[in-house]
Amino acid sequence: MSDTAAPAPSAAPAEEGGGRLAAELLKDDFGWALGVIMRRYLRAAEEIVKDVPGGPRGYQVVASASQNLATNQGAMAAQLGIDRTVLTYLIDDLEAAGLVSRQPDPADRRSRRVVATDAGKTLWRDRQAALAAAEAEILRVLGRDEAAFKELLQRVAIHADRLDPMHNACQVVDEMHQHENRSRRRR
């Protein structure tokens, strides 16, 4: 932990009726804190990858292909938690945009590898830097505690995934959007 106290929240208008800020009322609410952080990050990330075919999922495919993380399309589908059928259409769109190409797998010519083109690799590097900047903006308040926070967060995420394994990486985002939409309708 840092030797300096965290900065106080900036003055913001009080909630109507109660006079106290939601952040003050919910300061011990774990779910509220996670939701606020996730919402801010997702909005920034969606803006950064909005022009990539398939949005965030398309970006994940380009990122995986740029780093040679999957041996073939099937492995990529499992790695990213994207249904194989959906992945096929997504790769078609990314290929049409010149960001990836399908190539025969040297180990099994019946199988196809998804390989990033030069344009795809450039896109991945540029968007990776933009996503890092968005993350840094959110975590800036932590100062020297950022590295410790990220390490602790990773430990909690690994533990939570063991308790409730995620079979589809996009499921979390879809569930969060559904929850947010239900909350808006209630207001």
pLDDT surpasses 80 at 183: no
pLDDT tens column, 1-45: 444 444 444 444 444 545 567 767 777 888 888 998 999 999 999
Enumerate residues 6+ apart whose C-beta is below 8 A from 139: 146, 149, 150
Residue ranges covered by each domain of the chain: 29-186
Closest by CA to 169, choosing from 157, 159, 181, is 157
Q: Which CATH class is domain 29-186?
A: mainly alpha
